Structure 1
Amino acid sequence: MSDRDAYLEKMKARIDEWNAEVARLEAKAREAEADMRLKYDAQLKEMREQRDALEERLRDMQRAGEESWRRVRDGMEAAWDEMTRAFREAADRFR
């Protein structure tokens, strides 16, 4: 398996973990009182948008040629770091 393939698999696994966590938080939001549910829904919307952007970057990486995928990977890492930070902040608000 090439470095590129290994990296793509790693990112797919990360996105799967992200999706599982979003699902957990969605369940928690459904149990919340109405006023808190609105707040949770807004945070979940933001998290889904970030996930969708990350998935688009992953698709870009899959389409990128061998030469350019490293550049795309660097952008992916930056996006992942930003998404992780935002996710932690949003998850902390759920507690």
Structure 2
Amino acid sequence: MYEFKADNAGTHWWHSHTGLQLGDGLHGAFIVREPPETDPHSALYTEDRHVMVINDWPDPPQMYRYMEEMQDQWIVPMPINGGWRLQSQHFAKTLTA
């Protein structure tokens, strides 16, 4: 957990600015809490550490979809120690160096 001073108390939203990361769920809630002595609602609860973020689960992950679409242009198998093989249930092809 990180603790630091911040202004503008409330619930904020953070997210990646890379489409593939955003599509795979790199986002969440960012909560700036009012100090208890200035929060008029602090007496209404005793626990304030839980946050729920609901998101769908992409399968396959966005990177696999991108790689499958672009594999002829983007994925280039590279031999390491005499050979290398990329095989995944998410790809239409098996690539062999």
**TM-score range normalised by the length of the shorter chain:** under 0.3
Indicate the structure with greater strand content.
2
**Larger Rg over CA atoms:** 2
Q: Which has the higher helix share?
A: 1
Q: Does 1 or 2 have the higher relative contact order (CA < 8 Å, sep 6+)?
A: 1
